Structure 1
Amino acid sequence: MGTENATETAGLAGERSKDGLGWMEWIRGWMAVIGEMMFQRIAASHLQNPLPLPPVNELTFVVTGSTSGIGLQIARQLAEAGAHVIMAVRNPKAAHDLIQKWQNEWSGMILPLNVEVMELDLLSLESVVRFAEAYNARLGPLHVLINNAGIFSIGEPQKFSKDGYEQHMQVNHLAPALLSVLLLPSLIRGSPSRIVNVNSVMHYVGFVDPEDMNVISGRKKYTSLLGYCGSKLAQVMFSSVLHKRLPAEAGISVLCVSPGVVYTNVARDLPRILQVGYRFIPYFIFDAQEGSRSTLFAATDPQVPEYCETLKADDWPVGAFISQDCRPTNPSEEAHNVETSYKVWEKTMELIGLPSDAVERLIEGNEVTCRYSMTD
């Protein structure tokens, strides 16, 4: 990955202005999606299952959406490895029930698992602010934020949160973006620390119009696929800009990961005929434990921060992206569109109620007020 190529890519990206993916980009994107599904198990055949973790004792992890699927596996494996895990969830009772089950199965060990629960509803930006304020008030470190929670309401009509945003865009991008920025004070205290965004290979067929992130202008017909893929691409773009804006001395790495094609709660929302198809091709589809490996790798591997800093030093146009086989890979062609990425950044900060220089102010130790804060 040379600086010359990165500059050339950035220049080409900055020149173009478009209202959708070109045919070749679209075809190459779908080839990437299909290729991951067909060959992910072969590509990841070198990985152990479960993935062995380096020492994580004394480290604190926040894991969103950790009561089911990949998030459940991430939280449990980190806890069993000795980490302090905060399950940031919409349903605290379900999380407490899980913890009780894990503790019972862990009985006989020297120490109980160090897991706690905090309520977080990504469909409410006020809830995100409340969570961040409560966590920052502890004045303790946060070593890794894992933005795992996400939705894909396949085949559903367009729905909006009470904040007025398309639900895929809010849950998969806007709310995690707000959480990541607001938790910077705690991440600085935990430095070296990381923000790990569980993304998707589906971002390869995504497109984001920064002036129409709710997909309401009528320029493009809304589908749940459009909403989902666009939200995942927006997350990659936002992460790339956040990665650039964080100074090296802050010691915070930002990266996105693809868990692979995994049978989780998302699959349960599929039409019945597709669910049947999922069950008929178990060889190709990861289970949740296999799907958790790339995120656990991104969250714990000691070489990840160095890789992130190398990309920043080379002025590479996109941030780090880890594939389902725990290897660095290149995000989509559209993710390299630097001009659009900065527009997505500005629009995102506007939508989540933060000033565009919030990151710089928080890094300097200043307070930042969010429009969704109850204390306004």
Structure 2
Amino acid sequence: METTSSSSSTSSPSAAELISKSKRKEALGWMEWLRGWLYVIYEMLFQRILASHLQNPLPLPPVNDLTCIVTGSTSGIGREIARQLAESGAHVVMAVRNLKAANELIQKWQEEWSGKGLPLNIEAMELDLLSLDSVVRFAEAWNARLGPLHVLINNAGIFSIGEPQKFSKDGYEEHMQVNHLAPALLSILLFPSLIRGSPSRIINVNSVMHYVGFVDTEDMNVVSGRRKYTSLMGYSGSKLAQIKFSSILQKRLPAESGINVVCVSPGIVSTNVARDLPKIVQAAYHLIPYFIFNPQEGSRSTLFSATDPQMPEYCELLKADDWPVCAFISQDCRPANPSEEAHNIETSYKVWEKTLDLVGLPLDAVERLVEGDEVKCRYGAQEE
């Protein structure tokens, strides 16, 4: 749904006003749900054909002047993203929970790279997305360097297939916190560094599974009993929430900030998520390697979005056209259209307001940070 008032943060209606104009939606319609699953199946069957024009690994433009933070970069897609950016000359920061694993990887990559040129400019910093205190401390530590940040890649995510509902120590459903709330908080708190690195980008690694996702903004923890929790619901809903939040963030960022927001789909990729699958599903998962990308193939859309010189122009074009969603790049490195529910600008504003409340930021946090003011978050003040 489109509204004529969504393009400006000063004239935008509040989420409550928008929601009051229509009956609150409590789930996807069956036609939306069916279309979503058809898209997911189509993506799995044909993603390799659709991306057949891409080289593997993806050639990157010059990135020697870029500083990039990559979350969740010790395995899967994130590991490939960090390695390829570093080997192409970027300064890469691996933002990870397991510092030991990251430093062992760095040592291994340095040894493999020895003799090919200058040592890789790569380091590791601790970040645990299951702790919003950790997110705040990471952002404060990075901003204190007073250096530029050109690309933030929110790659880390979880999909605990078949697992019972779990909550972080902050009290939030784990999929929602790791896949949406923590990256949203990290992105906003790093604005001072992203502005210093302008033109800069926030790249959110999303998923085709958002097409079957739904976000109940009055029950983001799925505890009310109105819906029966499943891990698929938790994962797909968190990915949809990320797109909705990113869409409003892109609208609220003034052009002079130089920051653009992009969501990307890596495709359906064989990563560590398979270890959480039931045994019988794992067997089927590994019987169809032709259809499923390996992590290097899955990294291409993110690397493209992080380095393509035309991406900022494309983001600004969408904003100028008052397009209701942020830029979304598919696994074939081409622009794609997110789900019908992602276009629901009314609930996107509600997700925006609810997210800022949950992560402890004021509603005007973006505007204040862009203007150079300080913003206090209710997390991060105390040590664990």
> Structure 1 regions of 5+ residues with no counterpart?
none
Within 5 Å, give how 1:174-193 maps onto structure 2.
Answer: 174-193=181-200
Return the alpha-carbon distance in structure 1 between the equivalents of residues 308 and 38 of structure 2.
29
Match of 2:233 among 226, 238, 241: 226
Return the alpha-carbon distance in structure 2 between the equivalents of residues 153 and 115 of structure 1.
30
Deviation at 1:279, TM superposition (A): 1.1
Return the alpha-carbon distance in structure 2 between the equivalents of residues 16 and 286 of structure 1.
41
1:106 aligned to 2:113?
yes
Within 5 Å, give how 1:104-253 maps onto structure 2.
Answer: 104-253=111-260
The one-letter code matched in structure 2 to 1:155 is G
Match of 2:280 among 262, 273, 277: 273
Contact 2:2 2:345 in 1 (8 A): no
Q: Secondary structure at the match of 1:349?
A: helix
Contact 1:7 1:316 in 2 (8 A): no
1:62 aligns to what? 69
Deviation at 1:110, TM superposition (A): 2.5
Return the alpha-carbon distance in structure 2 between the equivalents of residues 36 and 109 of structure 1.
38
Within 5 Å, give how 1:282-293 maps onto structure 2.
Answer: 282-293=289-300
Q: Secondary structure at the match of 2:93?
A: strand
Match of 1:34 among 21, 34, 41: 41
2:86 aligns to what? 79
Contact 2:133 2:382 in 1 (8 A): no
Return the alpha-carbon distance in structure 1 between the equivalents of residues 274 and 185 of structure 2.
27
Q: Secondary structure at the match of 1:350?
A: helix
Alpha-carbon RMSD: 1.5
The one-letter code matched in structure 2 to 1:309 is E
What's the CA shift string for 1:108-132, capped at 9, x where partnerless?
A: 1231000001000000000000000
Q: Secondary structure at the match of 2:53?
A: coil
Match of 2:352 among 340, 345, 349: 345
What's the CA shift string for 1:222-241, capped at 9, x where partnerless?
A: 01000000000000000000
- Normalization by structure 2: what TM-score? 0.94
Contact 2:135 2:380 in 1 (8 A): no
Return the alpha-carbon distance in structure 2 between the equivalents of residues 273 and 170 of structure 1.
29
Match of 2:314 among 307, 331, 334: 307
Return the alpha-carbon distance in structure 2 between the equivalents of residues 86 and 76 of structure 1.
11
The one-letter code matched in structure 1 to 2:289 is P
Return the alpha-carbon distance in structure 2 between the equivalents of residues 98 and 58 of structure 1.
23
Match of 1:361 among 341, 344, 368: 368
Return the alpha-carbon distance in structure 1 between the equivalents of residues 382 and 127 of structure 2.
18
Detail structure 1 runs of 4+ shifted over 3 Å in the superposition.
5-8, 12-16
Deviation at 1:327, TM superposition (A): 0.3
Overall identity of the aligned pairs, in %? 79
